[in-house]
Amino acid sequence: MDFSDLNLVYSTDGGKIDNPKIEKKAAKGDGIVRLHRETKGRKGKGVTLIKGLELDEKALKALAKEIKKRTGTGGSVKDFVIEIQGDQREIIQLLLEQKNYKVKLAGS
């Protein structure tokens, strides 16, 4: 077997590999939580997006769990954005305002 055809390279640089030990942090915002309604790319089904929460990933997941329980729907956390199924903006707005967040309804 001839190994001259192989271009095997070893690098100590991390490159695009994510290091699970490094804690990702949300980008700093203006202190206002925005609630968006979105249907694009979801086969017509709407979701409520919650953006602008300056929480770490663990606290964000705990808040998402509480919101899902209060609204009785499913959802997830992706890239520091909470996605809740359906148009639940009014319920979420009340919940977040009770927690002393400044909330705005954004989009249509």
User: Where do the domains of the chain lie, and which CATH numbers do they carry?
Assistant: 25-105 (3.30.780.10)
Output the six-digit token pair for 32. 């206002």
User: Phi and psi dihedrals of 38, rounded to 5?
Assistant: -140, 140
pLDDT digits (tens, 9 = 90+) for 20-45: 666 666 667 778 999 999 888 777 78
d(CA 20, CA 4): 36
pLDDT digits (tens, 9 = 90+) for 78-89: 999 999 999 999
pLDDT the model gives residue 83? 94
Predicted TM-score (pTM) of the model is: 0.74
